[in-house]
Amino acid sequence: MTPHCHGLTGLTMTMLCYTADMKILLVASGAREHAIADALSRSPQKPEIISICTTRNPGLKNLSRELHVGNILDFPWVMEIAKQTKPDLAIVGPDDPIGGGLADLLEAAGIPTVAPKKSLARIESSKSFARDLLQKAIPDSVPKYRVFTSYEPKELNKFIAQDLKGDYVVKYDALKGGKGVKVSGEHLATIEEGMQYAKECIEEGGRVVIEEKLVGVEFSLLSFVSGTQVIDMPAIQDHKRAYAGDTGPNTGGMGTYTDSDHSLPFLEERDLQRASEINRLTAQALLRECREPFRGILYGGFIAVKDGIRVIEFNARFGDPEALNVLPLLSSDFAEICRAITQGTLTEDLVRFDHKATVCKYLAPESYPVSKDQKGTVVTFPPVPKNARLFFGDIAEDEQGLLHVGGSRTAGIVGIGNSIAEAEQVAEEFCRKVQGQVRHREDIGTAALIGQRMKTMRSLRVR
C-alpha cells in the first residue's frame, strides 16, 4: 500500500507513513472474521488485510487485499503464506487452528499474533484443564465436578446418582464443534445413558468431565486480553438451540443480543462485576500456570444462578455470532487494539464501544443443523440499511456473483438501535426480505423471550 503523506507535517506525517503500511494476516472460517475484517477496515490506519479462509467468503473477498481459500488446519500451507506476505501481525479467528497451536508457529516465525498459544488455549480445548485451573484459582466459580480417566462404573454411578443427585452434565474433554456436551434431562434421559456417553468419551479422548447441572440464565462476557491486562466488551446473550422457544438441537448459535448499557436486562450489576473479575482472575491464573501471557480474546461463558454466577466454559477466541454484535459497536481503532494486545500495551483508553443495543439473527439453511439439503441453492439479500450489518458465513460466491448457501450458518444479520426492541425490528425486517431456502429464529431479541429470562431469574432469586 502506498502511503499518502503529501501536505502533512512532522509527527502526523511520520505516523501516517508508518501506520499505512500495517499488514494483517487473518485466519478465517466465516462471519466472525468478516466482522473482524470490517472492524479492521474502519481503522484510520487502513491496514492491508490478507485473509486465509475455508471458503471464498464474499465479505472477506471485498475487504481483503488477498484471499487464500483452503484448509486452515494445513499449517505448512498457512505458514507458507504467512512467510511470503510478512504481516505485521496475525489474527486467528476459529477455535480449531488456535487449539492446534497455529499461534505458536506464527510467533516462532516472528509474527506477533492475536490468539493464544496452544498451552494457553487449553482453557477452551480441554474441559478438564479449564475446570482444574478455575478450581485452584476461583473455586466458587466452578460447579461440583470430577474428571474420570478410566471407566469405573461404580464410582461414576455413585458420583452421578448420589453426589449430583442425578442432575449432571457429561463433557467430552476436547474440541468437538460445540457438540461434546450432553446434559441430563435434555440429551441424556437416564443415568445409564450418561454413563454410556462418559464411557465413549473416555475411550475416544482418554478422559471425561462429569459435573453438576446448573439452573439459571446463560450470558457471555468477552474481554481483550494481553497478559494481565483485561478489558471487557459489552455482555452478550447467545441462543444455541435451533428453533424458536429454545427448542431443537444445539447449533453454533442462532443469534445474540447486547443492550445499550452494555449489561443485560436479567443481570444485576454485581453479576456483571463478578464476571469481569472472573475473566481478570482467569487471565492471571493462565499466566501463572502456563508461564506465558494470554494474548487474544478471552470469552467467559457464564450462567447466572440462584446465588451468583458460575462459569460454564471459557473460549479462547471471539464467539460467532458474538463478534458480530460487539465489533460494529467498537468506535475506537481495532487495529491499534490488536497491536497493543501483541505488544503488551493494552489500556482502557484504547477501547470504546457505542452505547447502542444490537440484535443478531443468523440466517441458516432451512434444514440446519439436521441435514444439508439446501447446500448449493442461491440466496439473495436486499440492500443493507444504515442501521444494519450483514456478515457472510458459510456462503460462496460463484463467477457470476451469485451467492450459494453451504451446509452451515449462512449469514449473520445485525440490527443496531437505541434499545433491544429497536435493534430487533431492524434485524427482523431485513431477514424477512432475504430470498432463498434459509430460515432464522424470529424470537431472538423479542420482548417476550427477554421477559421469560427475567422471569426465570426473578423466580430463582426470590428472597
Task: Tell me the pairing of strands 411-417 and 89-92.
Answer: unpaired
Q: Is the bond into 369 cis (omega within 30 degrees of 0)?
A: yes
- What is the C-alpha to C-alpha distance for residues 16 and 46, in angstroms, rounded to an integer? 10
Out of ligand AMP, ligand GLY, none, which partner does residue 143 contact, by CB within 5 to 8 A per kind?
A: ligand AMP
Question: Of 134-142, 287-295, 317-325, 394-402, which part binds ligand GLY (CB under 6 A)?
Answer: 317-325
**Residue at 123: amino acid letter:** I
Q: For residue 405, which amino acid is it?
A: V
Helices (H), 170-250: 191-205
Q: % helix / strand / coil in the chain, to the nearest 5?
A: 35, 25, 35
Q: Which stretch binds ligand AMP (CB under 6 A): 92-100, 176-184, 342-350, 397-405?
A: 176-184
Please choose which of ligand GLY, ligand AMP, none residue 319 contacts, taking the beta carbon within 5 to 8 angstroms, the exact cut-off set by kind.
ligand GLY
What is the grid cell recorded at 421? 426492541
Q: Shortest gap between Cβ of 237 and ligand AMP (angstroms)?
A: 11
Which of the choices ligand GLY, ligand AMP, none does residue 315 contact, using the CB cut-off of 5 to 8 A by kind?
ligand GLY
Q: By CB under 6 A, what part of segment 231-250 binds ligand AMP?
A: 240
* Alpha-carbon span 463 to 461, nearest angstrom: 6
Rule CB under 6 A: choose which of 183, 287, 454, 460 binds ligand AMP: 183
Residues, the chain: 463
Question: What does the DSSP 8-state code read for residue 445?
Answer: T
Nearest to ligand AMP of 104, 313 (CB atom):
313
Burial of 396 (0-12, 13-18, 19+ CB in 10 A): middle
- Quick check: 205 binds ligand AMP (CB under 6 A)? no
Is residue 181 part of the contact set for ligand AMP (CB under 6 A)?
yes
| Residue 322 found at the interface with ligand GLY (CB under 6 A) | yes
| Min CB(174)–ligand AMP separation in Å | 11
The minimum distance between CB 53 and ligand GLY, in angstroms, equals 17
Separation CA 350–CA 233 (nearest Å): 12
With binding defined as CB under 6 A, does residue 173 bind ligand GLY? no
CB of 274 to ligand AMP, least distance (A): 17
Rule CB under 6 A: say whether 313 interacts with ligand AMP: yes
Q: Does 87 bind ligand GLY (CB under 6 A)?
A: no
Smallest separation (angstroms) from ligand AMP to the CB of 212? 6
Min CB(138)–ligand AMP separation in Å: 15
Distance CA 310, CA 278 (A): 9
| Contact call for residues 344 and 226 (beta carbons, < 8 A) | yes
281 close to 225: Cβ distance less than 8 angstroms: no
Residues lying near ligand GLY in the complex (CB under 6 A): 238, 253, 315, 319-320, 322
